[in-house]
């Protein structure tokens, strides 16, 4: 049986300031909770509507009271936020391909991008401080467990990119057709805000401007691609070449 | 000022059976409403919090009462559902590349796929009857206006694909690496349900099995890609070749 304090704590973790204060975040469903446990995340508490050795048994009704999902999924885990590694050794962390998110604000987009990165073997994502918090319940859920496989670092992108020593790729309106451009095995791929794209200070540090061309020959067509979709197309094009 | 009957009608259009009975659907925001008007969709009524010649002026509070969005966007339009063209002349409709959705159930995914199709110049999407209804407010919103540029036909996919006379591409677990496979300029690209993929009856009609390979070398990795992401990667690979 859940105590009032347990319910209050869990519901409070919807807000970033509370997650920061408590050092805790919530993940839901057997898949996501299982992936985090296997990856070595330390659970604070786990609640489940089916019996499992590592969880407190609760009723469907209790799960509904603590869940952030429209359709709660059997298990809810509260995890300790692991110490976020600081990007002190940039050269190590930026070997191979990595991603940088500059102000991506929709939690579903950030979660989906983490899942895509995992699929394409990207192990490091740098996020500007105004990118949606990775421990937001909506981000955690949208990663479908991939949060456990990708290292995510929040930092000021300007010093990071200035010292990166690898090509910085950005998709920009004045970029060159991605399918025709030379791409390298090392580099940072930069994705921008949903409405405004890459911020002006960061844009200056892009060394290779790319464009995903619109193939529609009509005047009336989609004006843009969703940022997660653009990330997927970009990573697909990098990976198929090598 | 909105009447009770107007509010009741609009709110009722969240349900498919009411949209079907009334022959109406809702679109919101200046961008989406504008794209539908430019594409020739016939408005039943338009409501706006800013003065415009084609709309009834309403207050922010009234818009909140009729909107399906968390953050209502200035304009709400009620449109007549255009007569859905029947796929009588398959050979004409399937020239070039087209998409077929087999049981894609999440409205956000269907809307996003329509937006991606528009970007990649796909003008025809065939949907199985159990695919999310394109006039669902969440689908309409996720298309970001691309609903106005793409022809969408609901039909039984089995007879359609049997008589198509063009290659039928499907992404399947036992498919061949999409980056290495020959792809044609004509064909139907089939995408399946979020959880179960392409249904068994339809799968039999796939002539070219494709696979988007996972590039992560670790054992623990993302198990799948979201269906909209997979659609984007597949269309990108087809389009870059021609």
pLDDT tens digit string along B68-97? 999 999 999 999 997 544 444 455 555 699
Q: Are residues B70 and B13 in the same domain?
A: yes
pLDDT tens string for chain A (242 positions)? 899 999 999 999 999 999 999 999 999 999 999 999 988 889 999 999 999 999 999 999 999 999 999 999 999 999 999 754 444 445 555 569 999 999 999 999 999 999 999 999 999 999 999 999 999 999 999 999 899 899 999 999 999 999 989 999 999 989 999 999 999 999 999 999 999 999 999 999 999 999 999 999 888 888 889 999 999 999 999 999 98
Q: State the DSSP H helix or E strand holding residue B172, giving kind and residue range, or none if neither.
A: strand B168-177
User: Would an 8 Å CB–CB cutoff place A115 in contact with chain B?
Assistant: yes
Q: Are residues A150 and A229 in the same domain?
A: yes
Give the phi and the psi of residue B239 in degrees, each rounded to 5: -70, -35
pLDDT digits (tens, 9 = 90+) for B174-216: 999 999 999 999 999 999 999 999 999 999 999 999 999 999 9
- Under DSSP, the state recorded for A92 is H
User: Would an 8 Å CB–CB cutoff place B37 in contact with chain A?
Assistant: no
Q: Are residues B168 and B121 in the same domain?
A: yes
- Record the tokens describing residue A139, joined without a space: 């981000």
Euclidean distance between CA atoms A107 and A140, whole angstroms: 9
User: Would an 8 Å CB–CB cutoff place A228 in contact with chain B?
Assistant: yes
A-chain residues within 8 Å CB-CB of B221?
A: 118-119, 121, 146, 149
The domain that holds A28 is classified in CATH as 3.30.1330.30
User: Would an 8 Å CB–CB cutoff place B185 in contact with chain A?
Assistant: no
Of A94, A208, A87, the closest CA to residue A155 belongs to A87
B-chain residues within 8 Å CB-CB of A239?
A: 215
Q: Which of A43, A58, A80 is the last residue of a domain?
A: A80
Closest residue in B to A144 (Cα) is B222
Closest residue in A to B177 (Cα) is A240
A 10 A CB-CB count for B12 gives 14
Euclidean distance between CA atoms B205 and B211, whole angstroms: 16
- Within its chain, how far is the Cα of B212 from the centroid? 22
- Record the tokens describing residue A194, joined without a space: 């949903």
- Record the tokens describing residue B215, joined without a space: 């590039």
A-chain residues within 8 Å CB-CB of B229?
A: 112, 116, 228-229, 232
Q: Are residues B99 and B210 in the same domain?
A: yes
Q: Are residues A76 and A98 in the same domain?
A: no
User: Would an 8 Å CB–CB cutoff place A226 in contact with chain B?
Assistant: yes
**A/B interface, count of CB pairs below 8 Å:** 104
Cβ within 8 Å, pair A119-B215: yes
B-chain residues within 8 Å CB-CB of A224?
A: 144
pLDDT > 50? residue B142? yes
C-alpha torsion angle, residues B30, B33, B37, B40 (rounded to 10): 150
What Cα–Cα distance (Å) separates residue A21 from each residue in A12, A15, A133, A161? Answer: 10, 10, 14, 30
**CB hemisphere CA count around B102 (13 angstroms):** 25
Spatial strand order in the sheet of A97-102: A151-154, A124-127, A97-102, A187-192, A168-177, A208-211
The domain that holds B114 is classified in CATH as 3.40.1280.10
Q: Are residues A95 and A69 in the same domain?
A: no
Q: Are residues A163 and A185 in the same domain?
A: yes
For residue A202, being part of any structural domain is answered with yes
User: Would an 8 Å CB–CB cutoff place A234 in contact with chain B?
Assistant: no
What Cα–Cα distance (Å) separates residue B104 from each residue in B138, B139, B197? Answer: 14, 12, 9
Question: Which ipTM did the prediction report?
Answer: 0.89
User: Would an 8 Å CB–CB cutoff place A218 in contact with chain B?
Assistant: yes
Residue indicated by tokens 């980056």: B179
What Cα–Cα distance (Å) separates residue B128 from each residue in B96, B190, B206? Answer: 20, 11, 15
For residue B85, being part of any structural domain is answered with no
User: Would an 8 Å CB–CB cutoff place A242 in contact with chain B?
Assistant: no
CB of A161 within 8 A of CB of A188? yes
What ranges in B133-222 are assigned the alpha helix state H?
137-142, 157-162, 200-203
For residue A149, being part of any structural domain is answered with yes
Q: What's the pLDDT at B93?
A: 57
**What is the dihedral sign for C-alpha B174, B179, B180, B184?**
positive
Domains contained in chain A, number: 2
Cβ within 8 Å, pair B179-A115: no
Range of the domain at A48: 4-80
For residue A85, being part of any structural domain is answered with no
Q: What's the pLDDT at A40?
A: 85
């Amino acid at each position: 049986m859940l105590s009032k304090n347990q319910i209050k704590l869990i519901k409070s973790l919807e807000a970033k300031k509370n997650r920061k204060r408590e050092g805790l975040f919530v993940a839901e469903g057997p898949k996501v909770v299982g992936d985090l446990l296997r990856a070595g995340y330390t659970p604070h508490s786990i609640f489940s509507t089916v019996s499992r050795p590592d969880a407190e048994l609760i009723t469907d009704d209790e799960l509904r009271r603590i869940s952030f999902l429209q359709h709660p999924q059997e298990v809810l885990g509260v995890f300790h936020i692991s110490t976020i590694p600081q990007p002190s050794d940039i050269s190590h962390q930026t070997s191979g391909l990595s991603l940088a998110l500059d102000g991506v604000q929709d939690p579903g987009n950030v979660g989906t991008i983490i899942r895509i990165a995992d699929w394409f073997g990207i192990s490091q994502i740098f996020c500007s401080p105004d990118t949606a918090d990775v421990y937001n319940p909506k981000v955690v859920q949208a990663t479908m467990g991939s949060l456990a496989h990708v290292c995510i670092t929040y930092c000021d992108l300007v010093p990071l990119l200035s010292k990166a020593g690898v090509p910085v790729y950005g998709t920009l309106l004045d970029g060159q057709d991605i399918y025709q451009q030379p791409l390298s095995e090392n580099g940072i791929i930069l994705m921008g805000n949903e409405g405004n794209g890459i911020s002006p200070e960061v844009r200056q540090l892009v060394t290779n401007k790319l464009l995903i061309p619109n193939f529609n020959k009509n005047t009336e067509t989609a004006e843009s691609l969703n940022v997660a979709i653009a990330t997927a197309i970009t990573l697909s094009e990098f990976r198929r070449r090598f």
